[in-house]
Structure 1
Amino acid sequence: MARFSNKVAIVTGSSFGIGRSTAVLLAKEGAKVTVTGRSSERLRDTVDEILKNGGKTEDINIVVGDLTESECQNELVRSTLERFGRIDILINNAGAAFADPSGAIGVTVDIKLFDDMLKINLRSVVELIQKCRPHLISSKGDIVNVSSICAGPQPFVYYTFYGIAKAGLDQLTRCLAIELIEHGVRVNSVSPGLISTGFLGAVGMPSEAVKKTEEYYGSHRDCIPAGRPGTPEEIATLIAFLADKNSSAFIIGQSIVIDGGTSLALAMPSHDLSKVL
């Protein structure tokens, strides 16, 4: 029997990158999945990948919408229950960082962007968990949050507000883990380093700048000792491990770093990215 047979998973931010790879992997291993994002075209690509890897059309639920909106969250929960009857796994992957058009960094970034980053990276997660909570308790399910090494303890000045939001997500993971474990629900998170996804492009970097950034950091082993950025599939493998009670039953409330050694070397924040670009 496949690892996630008879399990139902919601994977937010599954239109590309880590979310897509996670949805594909869970479906490949037997899960029924709800995929969601703002782009119907990208979600169709996710569905195509799931089908190519052995998933079934009847085991896929699609919700197009903005996760920061309550209506989208409500539809995620409602349609998943209507289609599959339960929720076993919640993967809170949707997140974003926004660059200030003026080029400002740190706390000089427009305060509106601070609000926007808190809304997508933290508040939307809290709201969705509130709505999924009774269903996860009923199934004795699992929550995996996708955080970032930008949450600390080392500083990433270019992503100050994003890091603050992700640090809040780490604390949410710990508090929820204690709150929900008595109901049989485990909560953990993963903290990726630099991963080759569409994330930097979504921040506002042109494709050439993304390529240059990944090549630069990958070639400096004081930034990434592994010598390369990670892949979405590598993060998805860790997420699936944490979502599987047979593999990780005694891991509770942890944020597991997966960054190729970046947080051990501690040098990446000292490199001036503006000079690189």
Structure 2
Amino acid sequence: MTRFSGKSVIVTGSSNGIGRATAVLFARYGAQVTITGRDAERLEVTKQKMLKAGSLPENINVVVADLTDSEGQDRIVQSTLDKFGKIDVLVNNAGASIFDGTMNTDQSIDLYERIFRLNFQAVVEMVKKTKEHLIKTRGEIVNVSSTVAGPQALPMAPYYASSKAALNQYTRCVAIDLIQYGVRVNSVSPGLVSSGFMGAIGMSKEIQEKFESFMESKKECIPGGVIGKPEDIAKLIVFLSDRKRSSYIIGQSIVADGGSTLVSGMHAHDLKDILGL
């Protein structure tokens, strides 16, 4: 028996990046996994990677659905129950920073509504729709937030940053509510991660590589000197989903960012250089 044998897991946004890496890792540990997203071809890639990791075909449930649509959410939940009979873990990974060519306070209200609909409201709805099933299994919820939630500002994309800050507070509130029923709720806050995220906002592969190279080379950006990989975050999600290994962690947002959020302007420079020593 492996680590998650007999456990039923939903991973939203699992057609790429962190969601795909998380689904593959759960598969490696023997879980029954529902993978979901809007792109059937990308979900098939995820499925094949899960099979290669050792998953049995009957332990994979593929649902093509729009998470911002109520019927899509219902299909994800019901198909999981129909195939696996229960829900032990909900990973709310789906999210995006949507760009329409505007930045800062020039961003439109329409953009605000689209971003909050996916990054925040969809999470709220999925929690409400799985709550009774997670109570039955004394299960786990892991939300995927971001270091852009603050306290540092992200003025170019205020709606995205605000949606993640809202998600962090929601995580704390729901954690206190549901722990009385035995359900643990936590979140992870990744920093910069090399995934499909930047491509989704319009960056070409060449621009992404240039951006990542710059960030890795600047200690004021990533002290660790390395862009995170989806697998780095997936390991943390799986850890928080494992009651045996993380039972005393409740309502926390665990940061994984290579040290980025620890750096202030003064730390970015060598004191000996500043003093001419």
Same fold (TM over 0.5): yes
Q: CA deviation at 1:112?
A: 1.1
In the alignment, which residue of structure 2 is the partner of 1:143?
A: 141
Aligned twin of 2:42: 42
- Residues 165-190 of structure 1: CA deviation (Å, up to 9, x unaligned): 00010011000000000000000000
Structure 2 regions of 5+ residues with no counterpart?
269-277
Aligned match of 1:7: 7
- Whether the aligned pair in 1 keeps the contact of 2:65 and 2:76 (CA below 8 Å) is no
Matches within 5 A, 1:195-274: 195-266=193-264
CA drift of 1:219 comes to 0.8
Q: C-alpha offsets along residues 140-171 of structure 1, whole Å, 9 cap, x if unaligned? A: 00000000000000111222110100001001
How many residues get paired? 266
Residue correspondence of structure 1 range 18-33 to structure 2 within 5 A: 18-33=18-33
Partner of 1:118: 116
- AA paired with 2:164? K
In the alignment, which residue of structure 2 is the partner of 1:274? none
For 1:157 and 1:100, the matched residues in 2 are separated by 15
Alpha-carbon offset, residue 108 of structure 1: 1.1
Deviates more, 1:30-39 or 1:156-165: 156-165
Amino acid at match of 1:66: D
* Equivalence for 2:159: 161
2:34, 2:80 within 8 Å by CA — same for their partners in 1?
yes
CA distance in 1, matches of 2:99, 2:28: 35
SS of corresponding position for 2:15: coil
Q: Which runs of 5+ in 1 are unaligned?
A: 271-277
Partner residue in 2 for 1:275: none
> Are 1:95 and 2:81 matched, yes or no?
no
C-alpha distance after superposition, 1:191-233 (max 9, x if no partner): 0000000001101222222111111111101100011110000
Q: Secondary structure at the match of 1:9?
A: strand
Q: 2:106 matched to 1:67?
A: no
3-state SS, counterpart of residue 221 of structure 2? coil
Q: Equivalent residue of 1:24, what SS?
A: helix
Cα distance, 1:244 vs. partner? Answer: 0.1
Report deviation, 1:266: 4.0
Identity %: 53
Tell me, in whole angstroms, the C-alpha distance in 1 between the residues paired with 2:125 and 2:201: 24
Residues 61-110 of structure 1: CA distance to partner in whole angstroms, max 9, x if unpaired?
A: 01001100001100011100000000000000000011122xx3112112
Q: Runs (4+) of structure 1 moved beyond 6 Å?
A: none
Aligned AA (1:222): E
Cα distance in 1 between the residues matched to 2:215 and 2:108: 27
Contact 1:223 1:262 in 2 (8 A): yes
Aligned partners of 2:210, 2:216: CA distance in 1, in Å? Answer: 10
Aligned mates of 1:110, 1:205 — CA distance in 2: 21
After alignment, is 175-184 or 155-164 more displaced? 155-164
Under a length normalisation based on structure 1, what TM-score does the superposition of the two structures give? 0.94
Mapping 1:173-212, distance limit 5 Å: 173-212=171-210
Quote the Cα distance in structure 1 between the aligned partners of 2:264 and 2:187.
21
1:216 and 1:73 map into 2 onto residues whose CA distance is 39
Give the root-mean-square deviation of aligned CA atoms: 1.1
Structure possessing the higher radius of gyration over alpha carbons: 2
CA shift, 1:122, in A, is 0.2
C-alpha distance in 1, partners of 2:127/2:230?
A: 24
157-166 or 238-247: bigger deviation: 157-166
Q: Distance in 2 between matches of 1:266 and 1:16?
A: 32
The separation in 1 between residues aligned to 2:77 and 2:131, in whole angstroms, is 10
Please list the CA deviations of residues 96-142 of structure 1 after superposition, one character each: whole Å capped at 9, or x if unmatched.
011122xx311211221111100000000000110000000000000
State the SS of the aligned residue for 1:158: coil
